[in-house]
């Protein structure tokens, strides 16, 4: 489990009778103050239950082991057999197949908001307003939580009200907008060994743009392995493995500007 963003200690947490174990992390995230501020991911893999912040793109430098993806333009190194190297602290892979990128972060921020606000439920019960001489005065700064995760380039910020207008779960509220801060990239890893990638693995992604090498940071969200027989006929005896690696990466600010 990646250490939580929420460090608040709670005296007790009541879990409803019959709650499946695999539903526990989502229950804590949405109903019990939250664990991470960038949504929660979990996956059962080889007897271990992995729990991590799903859209946190800033974990690579602080993680004990990370993934480095070097994206080679398609058809530049076709058929290369050695496509990865594993060390004590990182896995380095070459993605030599096709690459797809979907960056809808800007449009989503315009349409769905680049910030969020909600009324703090704790303030309602503790100190929502002050009454003096039969006049009650409310403070927006004390009672309303408002977060802007990125300043709009045109200066027109779109701060929306959370679906739960009254809440004390800052982690869950921030998680609802965390996916708008990045892009999805899917790359093909040929002659792969997908089992070396663990769920939620932090990643640095190196690629070429205008004869310049650029680096983006993110997290692995999905790996799909495809094992097939190489060649045709009775003489074909060798099986090869290719993997589709899906990443959630920070946006390229240079390209957006």
Q: What does the pLDDT read at residue 257? A: 41
Q: Which of 165, 181, 197 is the last residue of a domain?
A: 181
Query: By residue range, what is the domain housing residue 66?
Result: 27-103+182-256
- Give dist(CA 181, CA 178) in Å, integer: 6
Which of helix, strand or coil describes residue 123?
helix
Q: Which of 164, 181, 198 is the last residue of a domain?
A: 181
Q: Are residues 153 and 189 in the same domain?
A: no
Q: What does the pLDDT read at residue 154? A: 65
Residue-level pLDDT, tens digit, the chain, 257 residues: 999 999 989 899 999 999 998 899 999 999 998 999 999 999 988 888 999 999 999 999 999 899 999 999 877 777 788 999 999 999 999 998 878 888 777 777 777 777 778 777 776 666 766 777 777 676 666 677 777 777 766 677 777 777 777 777 888 888 888 888 889 999 999 999 999 999 999 999 999 888 889 999 999 999 999 988 776 766 677 788 999 999 999 987 665 44
The verdict on residue 17 lying in a domain is no
pTM: 0.82
Which of helix, strand or coil describes residue 71?
strand
Is the CB of residue 23 less than 8 Å from the CB of residue 33?
A: no
The verdict on residue 145 lying in a domain is yes
Q: Are residues 57 and 112 in the same domain?
A: no
Structure tokens at 49: 């239950």
The verdict on residue 14 lying in a domain is no
- Give dist(CA 93, CA 109) in Å, integer: 32
The verdict on residue 11 lying in a domain is no
Which of helix, strand or coil describes residue 179?
helix
Q: What does the pLDDT read at residue 100? A: 86
The verdict on residue 218 lying in a domain is yes
Q: Are residues 95 and 51 in the same domain?
A: yes
């Amino acid at each position: 489990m990646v250490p939580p963003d929420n460090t608040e200690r709670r005296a007790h947490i009541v879990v409803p009778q019959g709650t499946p174990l695999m539903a526990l992390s989502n229950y804590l995230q949405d109903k019990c103050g939250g664990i991470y501020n960038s949504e929660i991911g979990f996956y059962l893999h080889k007897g271990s239950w992995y729990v991590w912040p799903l859209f946190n793109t800033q974990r690579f430098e602080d993680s004990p082991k990370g993934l480095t993806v070097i994206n080679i333009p398609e058809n530049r190194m076709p058929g290369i057999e050695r496509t990865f190297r594993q060390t004590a602290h990182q896995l380095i892979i070459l993605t030599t197949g096709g690459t797809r990128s979907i960056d809808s972060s800007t449009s989503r921020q315009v349409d769905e908001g680049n910030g969020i606000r909600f009324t703090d439920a704790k303030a309602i019960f503790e100190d929502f307003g002050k009454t003096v001489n039969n006049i009650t005065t409310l403070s927006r700064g004390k009672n309303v939580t408002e977060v802007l995760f990125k300043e709009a380039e045109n200066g027109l910020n779109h701060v929306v009200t959370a679906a739960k207008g009254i809440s004390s779960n800052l982690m869950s509220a921030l998680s609802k907008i965390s996916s708008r801060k990045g892009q999805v990239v899917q790359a093909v890893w040929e002659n792969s060994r997908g089992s070396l990638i663990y769920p939620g693995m932090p990643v640095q992604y190196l690629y070429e743009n205008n004869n310049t090498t650029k680096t983006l940071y993110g997290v692995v969200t999905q790996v799909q392995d495809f094992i097939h027989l190489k060649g045709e006929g009775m003489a074909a005896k060798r099986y090869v493995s290719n993997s589709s690696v899906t990443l959630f990466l920070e946006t390229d600010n240079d390209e957006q500007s």
